[in-house]
Chain A
């Protein structure tokens, strides 16, 4: 633990069982076979991966890790990552059942990611983009200062380069462990978008399952065009909070992509297999 406090933070070793529990929780994709949580069928894992992590039997859109997504949706070999060196701190000295700094250490080691967002530049169907995606496996894609900073820089890069911005959001919202600083990321990212508007390039926001809280209520809902993957849970408050507040059961399909489309809150629902082509088409139409 002491090493953590040294000037140049190094990541302390993690117990193998910690890694295992982390890796298995979000994806349930370990081993040769995986179970679809929607249709409960056991499916050959390679089959699922070949199908962009969409269940070949029922079409359920499973978690698609950020790097795999960026690699598949961007033109081959064009993605260059930015800001990988940004690392989270523990500004409040926060402790719940675990110390936040320990939680970070374990998560970073297990996922080999510094925080919950991967950003960079690349091309989609020949169009240059400043692009990024949430690492949902990293503390539920929660937005702390590093995520906020990376998203802000994504828009700053797009502004400088006068290119389009594309963000794939999957987040439970603000990162409680960073308290007020995580809240302020909402204002920071929104302000960066306000500046980006001046170069008159498109910002396409793609909402994945789930997109809620402070991420939904800031940059994710500020897209010039907002796309959603099928059946993603999207909204401000989580369903449990709403149920507790109004003391009634929520209707089926509430806060799902289809519900949002019906209520005029997103532009289109795009199945994963069509995403790349649709993004390319939009970028062409909007410039």
Chain B
């Protein structure tokens, strides 16, 4: 595929090498000959470099990948995995918040309710999507749609990708905290299967408000945290440049959370990250999503509620002292 136009620092050597290979290929004009040995050598080198870079990513590098501007977003997955998407708008009391998108769709023909945070690809889109940071209306729309799904017995599938709930004057006036709190309660008692996939950033309460699910899955290069490494660093170290250190302290990658048993499964990404091959990323998400949905569809409503309750009831270690 064409090299992405945006590169993280640690991706750059690889992308430069790939550009060189592309150049040689176009010089040879498709005819095998002069450059083929050189091309082969470089391709081998590129593969080695890729596995070198990606086999041992730091938590901060994963954080950067999770926010990669070319990473597939919720609506990309909608397009790649589902059919018949019918978007539903509005919270019915104040407004429509495009930073959370929701609606009916079909997965392999089966009707489901989809919900996800939606970031913008450019400044103009981000004006509309508010960088994927919902206001109370977004959470209230999400609640409305989850209740619809519950009433009509359709599974709820949510895609998490937000820096967090929006911290603004209007959001506070209209009850940001209340909107999130209500979602947590409503989700905990839905009588339908709920599966959440963290596809990019799982930013604190703003992420959890659509992720109280029977199964929580995370893409390999996604993060999920109580606070962003940047904010954590400015509070704890009084220094915003120590985000790297904070990312390590917070243990916020998919691998960390799998190990801490907070999430159920890690979805592997294509080599070099989901943004290098969105179709394959979606395929991997689809495979894991279907597997868990299939298992949950065998359970009745009360069993699903009980399953979700037990999952979250067990979270958080403590000891019993004397």
Which of A's residues lie within 8 Å of B, judged by CB?
A: 8-9, 85-89, 91-92, 94-97, 114, 144-146, 148-149, 152, 174, 176, 178-188, 190-195, 212-214, 216-222, 235-237, 241-242, 245-246, 250-251, 254-255, 259, 263-265
Evaluate whether A9 and B319 lie within 8 angstroms (CB atoms) in the complex, with A152-B313, A236-B172, A236-B176 already known.
yes
Q: A214-B204, A237-B167 are in contact. List 10 more A-B contacts (CB 8 A).
A: A92-B250, A94-B249, A146-B318, A178-B226, A181-B315, A183-B225, A186-B205, A188-B312, A190-B188, A246-B169
A85 touches B181 (CB 8 A): no
- Quick one: which of A180, A236, A250 contacts B171, CB cutoff 8 A? A236
Q: Closest approach, in angstroms, between the C-beta of A262 and any C-beta of chain B?
A: 9
A-B pairs with lowest CB-CB distance, top 10: A145-B316, A237-B167, A190-B184, A191-B188, A96-B236, A236-B177, A216-B177, A236-B176, A184-B315, A217-B177
> What's the minimum C-beta distance from B14 to chain A, rounded to whole angstroms?
31
Contacting residue for A85 out of B189, B226, B227, B322, CB 8 A: B322
Please, which residues of chain B bring their CB within 8 A of the CB of A265? 175, 178
Task: Provide a sorted-by-A list of 13 A–B residue pairs whose CB atoms are within 8 angstroms.
Answer: A96-B237, A114-B321, A145-B317, A145-B318, A180-B260, A181-B260, A181-B315, A184-B208, A186-B205, A190-B188, A220-B181, A221-B182, A254-B169
Q: How far is the CA of A97 from the CA of B237 in the complex (A)?
A: 7
Of B212, B231, B252, B322, which one neighbours A180 at CB under 8 angstroms?
Answer: B252
Q: Which of A174, A219, A235, A255 contacts B226 (CB 8 A)?
A: A174
Question: Inside 8 A of B231's CB, which chain A residues have their CB?
Answer: 241
Let me know if B308 is at the binding interface, CB within 8 A. Answer: yes
Q: Are B182 and A222 in contact (CB under 8 A)?
A: yes
Residue pair B318, A149 in contact (C-beta under 8 Å): yes
Main SS at interface, chain A: helix
- Contacting residues, chain B, for A241 (C-beta < 8 A): 167, 231
Judge whether B320 is part of the interface by a CB distance below 8 angstroms.
Answer: yes
A187–B225 Cα distance when bound, in Å, is 14
Which residue from chain A places its CB closest to the CB of B175 in the assembled complex? A265
- A113 shortest CB reach to chain B, Å: 12
Residues in B whose Cβ lies below 8 Å from that of A152: 313
- Contact present for B185 and A95 (CB under 8 Å): no
Bound-complex Cα distance A191 to B172 (A):
24
Chain A minimum-CB-distance residue to B204: A183
Contact partner of A185 among B227, B249, B316, CB < 8 A? B316
Could you mark each residue 219-256 of chain B with 1 if its beta carbon is under 8 Å from any beta carbon of chain A, else 0? 00000111100011001110000000000011110000
Chain A residues, CB < 8 A from B308: 191
Residues of A within 8 A of B257 (CB): 180
Query: Within 8 Å of chain A (Cβ to Cβ): is B165?
Result: yes
B174 located at the interface, meaning its Cβ lies under 8 Å from any Cβ of chain A in the complex: yes
Is B168's beta carbon under 8 Å from chain A?
yes
| Contacting residues, chain A, for B279 (C-beta < 8 A) | none
Q: In the complex the two chains form, is B226's CB within 8 Å of A180's CB?
A: yes
Q: Are A8 and B322 in contact (CB under 8 A)?
A: yes
> Residue of B at shortest CB range from A213?
B205
- With A180-B252, A221-B178 already in contact, the answer to whether A89 and B319 are too (CB < 8 A) is yes
B208 touches A87 (CB 8 A): no
Known contacts A96-B249, A217-B180, A250-B169; A184 and B316 CB within 8 A of each other: yes
Most buried by B among A87, A188, A241: A188
